[in-house]
A = this chain, B = another copy of it.
Amino acid sequence: MSSPTGCVPFMRVSVPGIEAPPTAGANGHFAMLGRRLALHSRLNAGDRAALAGLQAERRRLEPYGYLIRAGQPTTLCAVLLTGFAFRQKTAGDGGRQIVALHVPGDALDLQNLHLGIADHSVQALTRIEIATVPKAAMQEIEKARIGLSIAMTRDMLIEASLYREWMLNLGRRDARTRIAHFLSELHIRLRRMDLAATEGLELPMSQEQLGDLVGLTPIHVNRTLRGLEEDGLIVRERRMIRIPDRAALATAGDFDPAYLHLEKAAD
């Protein structure tokens, strides 16, 4: 039952240098957003300065704490600094569906303030830290700096692209493929933010939550994970998932990262 390589933590939830304000400026929490946006968009010095200069309030939330409640007005405008958050919707019969998972650095509804009433909830998955700014300040920046406006639009479009891929996952792939796909996606997203080693990741959720994410019962999740392990595609040690062969897992998960739009856009 014990891992042959020992229990090396593949991921650190709080990475030194990310948690702390990385630049000068008012308080600099939003500079992290700048780094994130710079992954896919070109920002000039002014754009970065504008973000770094935002007066952000730092907040901490315990697991299941709400950032946004379905049915309530949307006022939040935040960046996830540490920990994981998720979006969820609930069906009439009580069934839950996690429709998105957010990793540190993700923008949380910088734009959704354009919609009046939240159509879903956003909650902390683990203990998290977020930086929030007033809605007005964000709208101002959006108007004043075209570069940031475009970058945020692109961020939004990439999230929509993930939604589409998840629909394909839910609608047209079986349990095994679905879970392998999700693990591949999460791994690559974490590695991109330097939050996971190449050889594996720590799953930040219970099997029940994973079930709500991939549209399966926790029982079937459990059996499917075992199946993946028996086939050598993953090695489990508590919630540590070691991935001996990323390409093999990607194949099993029908995973092609194109939809993540990891490349930097031209303009």
Instruction: Give the contact-size bracket for chain A.
Output: 35 or more
Whether A259 is near chain B, meaning CB under 8 Å from some CB there, is yes
Cβ contact within 8 Å between A115 and B158: yes
What is the oligomeric copy number?
2
Minimum CB–CB distance for A158 against chain B, Å: 7
Q: CB-CB < 8 A to A170: which residues of B?
A: 167, 170-171, 215
Whether A45 is near chain B, meaning CB under 8 Å from some CB there, is no
Question: Which of A49-57, A61-69, A90-98, A125-133 participates in binding chain B?
Answer: A90-98
Q: CB-CB < 8 A to A164: which residues of B?
A: 87, 89, 99-100, 119-120, 163
A residues 70-99 touching B (CB-CB < 8 Å): 71, 87, 89-93, 95-97, 99
A residues engaging B (CB < 8 A)?
Answer: 71, 87, 89-93, 95-97, 99-100, 111-112, 114-117, 119-120, 143, 146, 149-150, 153-154, 156-161, 163-168, 170-173, 214-215, 254, 258-259, 261, 263, 265-266
